[in-house]
Chain A
Amino acid sequence: MDSAFITNLILASVRMATPLIFLSLAELYSQRAGLVHIGLEGLAAIGSLVGFLVSLITGSPLLGVLAGAAVGILVNMIYAYATINLCAEQIVYGMAINIFAPALAAFIYRVYFGAGSELVQVGLMTTLSGLLGIASDNFLVRLLLDQTPMVYLAYGLVIFTAIYFNKTKSGLNYKAVGEYPKAAATLGISVVGVKYAASVICGALAGIGGAYLTTCYSTTYTDGNVAGRGFIALAAVIFGRWSAGGVLLACLFFGFCDALQIRLQVGSYGIPYQFFQMIPYIATVVVLTIIGMKKAGPKGVGKPYLREER
């Protein structure tokens, strides 16, 4: 295991963690307002497809990302209306989104491209080093500059979220809705308004997370390309104890484990590959054991808010 292995592993971890960060922040904003959302996989799937299509049509990956965010919001309004206004079961509607949105994405893809099979590829978003015209093999240059603007946005959002939830009155009000909405309402906080705002943010970030896959990572779209990231993001929020910093560390950890198993498979020389494929799951069990199962999440998460109920 030489230094090149380690530097390439770190770079791969960052690449693989970025979509997870967007999705995990989406979940964090949702849960902090009391809405547990297991439908991120679906939101990311439709965001991925729409981001790909818009990027293909306009030639602009940035517009693709914005379109991914927009469709994420749109689809998440189904969840929002059902769970906030109709007080429906959040888990059930999250699962409905997970079934509905990827199917919708597959349907749109087939309607747009027809049944004819042809590999469609789009150009990816330019990296900062590309914009600046810097080409270097230096590790720090590659780590800090050889990234698309979306990577900087992801890390910027983590910092913003940490400050917002802990240092601003608005953020504390937001968290209050997720902790004890009735008490928040007595303080004049619009509980329904905050929950809808959370759904808009959640939908946008999940859509961006999906669009990242097809505008910044891979030049092609295939059904199922979200590949379980929506569920990993759900776990990352729990790992991260519902804090922005913790979520970031959890995403980097998951990204690192996945990158590690890929790199170790390549250099295994005789060790069965299944052993390496187990690494992310073994690591998950170990970390859960260390962190423990003590609930630290918002107290009101998953519970419907009925204004008239005592």
Chain B
Amino acid sequence: MKKIFALLLTLAMVLSLAACGGGNSGGGASSGNNTSAPADGGGDGKTYKVAMICDSSISDGGWGMACYNAMVDAAAKYGWETEVSDSIAQSAYYESIVAFCDLDYDLIYAPGNQYTDAILQAAEEYPDIAFALLNGGADTPEKAANQNVTSLLPNSQQVGWIAGILAGLMTETGKVAFIGGMEIDTTKGKYAGFVESAEYVGQQEGKDVKALDVVYSGDFSASDKGIEFAKAMMDQGADVFFGDASAVDSGARQAIDEANAAAGAVKVYDIAQPGDFLGQNECIIGSQVTDNSGLVGLCMEAVEAGTFGGETIYGTMQNGVLSVGKLSDLVPADVQEKYNGYIAQVMDGTFMQ
């Protein structure tokens, strides 16, 4: 009897693990495996498939969510099937990519610089599959032996500028803060842009604006770290926050909302990215928006046309990939006007010249 029980128990666990592993690796597997009627293109009758891997959750209220939505929006436009594997550990990057390759996916979409090594390794082993690396290095495509990798590279300095200008205008304490997830090139670029623009705008407005040193949570899931970082930074006087840390940013916003509630007024603000998250938290006064769906869409077009790979597609304000989200009513009308003026300078290339 015990042996039968043991066998049943083992079977139950193995089957559960298989099911759950499938659910995790295909977050969308359960309900997100979408196919949309093509709005254009795809005339060869084939249904193309795109898979996204992500180390943060697609429900994180930040990076993962925006990148997933970008893929789904692009897939809806071009009539592709989508799949996602989110919340994966670093050790599983390569295995997750290869799993999708083995399932004959046409395009692997990896939103983050941290996937570069895994993508390059898989790209060498699967020459017929296209790999799109969001925030990849400018030189990454040429490192791919089979020319089947494309870097999608939103201008991180401009991303930082869009947030930093608003921070410089809105800060009253003269201290602004940035929370990073991991120390990767794009995060460092965003921080540098955020700092220089906040200080510059502060100077233009007659304020002495300084950014606290960048902090890194070490991962993208620890919302509790975001809470603690935000509390510590508010103790240091920071009153405008920007971040690049996925769910950690959500934790920071929670702490800011709590501090504002305790103060009885919204005095500490947050600027979101890379989607328009106005209204998600009371403290969000604006967003830097990256139209990743446009970038992913370009990759889909190239795959369908058989011209994919070997290039770096840049995303800037000038070509419409980067833009400014809606501003909150907490931003006074005159400040909104100034902000739009500075953004116009970024657009025409005269900002900080």
The interface of chain A, by Cβ under 8 A from chain B, is 4-5, 8, 12, 15-16, 78, 81-82, 85-86, 88, 96, 99-100, 103-104, 106-107, 109-111, 113-121, 135, 213, 217-220, 222-225, 227, 259, 262-263, 265-270, 273, 277
Chain A residues with CB below 8 A from B28, complex form: 110, 115
By DSSP majority rule, is chain A's interface helix, strand, loop, or mixed?
helix
User: Please, which residues of chain B bring their CB within 8 A of the CB of A4?
Assistant: 235
Q: CA–CA, A115 to B54, complex, Å? A: 14
Q: Known: A100-B13, A106-B24. Contact between A266 and B215, CB under 8 A?
A: yes
Contacts A225-B222, A262-B225, A262-B229; is A220 near B250 (CB within 8 Å)? yes
Question: Closest residue of chain A to B212, judged by CB?
Answer: A266
Q: Is the CB of A110 within 8 A of B235?
A: no
Digitize B204-220: 1 where CB-to-A-CB distance is under 8 Å, 0 elsewhere: 00000000111110110
Please report the C-alpha to C-alpha distance between residue A220 and residue B19 in the assembled complex, in whole angstroms.
25
A95: min CB distance to chain B, Å: 12
CB of B232 within 8 A of CB of A104, answer no
**Whose C-beta in chain B lies nearest to the C-beta of A8?**
B235
A113 to B68 CA separation, bound complex (whole angstroms): 15
Interface status of B38 (Cβ within 8 A of chain A):
no
Given A119-B60, A218-B254, A223-B86, do A78 and B228 touch, yes or no (CB 8 Å)? no
Name 12 A/B residue pairs within 8 A (Cβ), A-sorted.
Answer: A86-B9, A88-B6, A96-B13, A107-B23, A111-B31, A117-B68, A217-B227, A220-B60, A222-B57, A224-B57, A265-B216, A270-B213
Check A273 against B215 for contact (C-beta < 8 Å): yes
B280 pairs with A220, CB closer than 8 A = no
B61 in contact (CB, < 8 A): yes
Partner of A86, one of B6, B20, B61, B214: B6
| Residues on the A chain within 8 Å of B33, using CB | 115
Bound Cα distance from A265 to B262, whole angstroms: 25
A115, A135, A219: the one within 8 Å of B254 (CB): A219
Q: In the complex the two chains form, is A115's CB within 8 Å of B224's CB?
A: no
Q: A116–B31 Cα gap in the complex (Å)?
A: 9
| Count of A-B contacts judged by CB separation below 8 Å | 167
- Asked whether any CB of chain A lies closer than 8 Å to the CB of B151, the reply is no
What string of 1s and 0s marks CB contacts (under 8 Å) between B229-253 and chain A? Answer: 1011101100000000001001100
Residue of A nearest to B226 (CB): A218
Is B121's CB within 8 Å of the partner chain A? no
B75-87 CB mask vs A (1 if < 8 Å, else 0) is: 0000000001011
A107, B69: Cα distance in complex, Å = 20
Q: Chain A residue with minimal CB distance to B31?
A: A114
Smallest CB gap from B222: residue in A: A227
Alpha-carbon gap, A141 to B212, bound state (A): 29
CB nearest to A86 among chain B residues: B6
Cβ contacts under 8 Å, B31 to chain A: 110-111, 114-115
Tell me which residues across on chain A come within 8 A of B340, comparing CB atoms: none
Cβ-defined contact, B9 with A82, below 8 A: yes
What is the minimal beta-carbon distance from A4 to any residue of chain B, in angstroms? 7
Interface residues of B in 16-54 (CB under 8 A from A): 16-17, 19-21, 23-24, 27-28, 30-34
**Which residues of chain B are within 8 angstroms of A86 by Cβ–Cβ distance?**
2, 5-6, 9
Kindly list 10 other residue pairs between chains A and B, CB separation below 8 angstroms, not including A85-B5, A225-B223: A109-B59, A110-B31, A115-B32, A115-B33, A117-B65, A222-B57, A222-B59, A265-B215, A270-B213, A273-B213
Taking a contact as CB atoms under 8 Å apart, the answer to whether A266 and B254 are in contact is no
- The docked-state distance in angstroms from the alpha carbon of A86 to that of B144 is 52
**Known A-B contacts A5-B235, A82-B9, A111-B23; A220 and B2 likewise in contact (beta carbons under 8 Å):** no
Q: Chain B CB within 10 Å — which of A111, A269, A270, A273 has the most?
A: A273
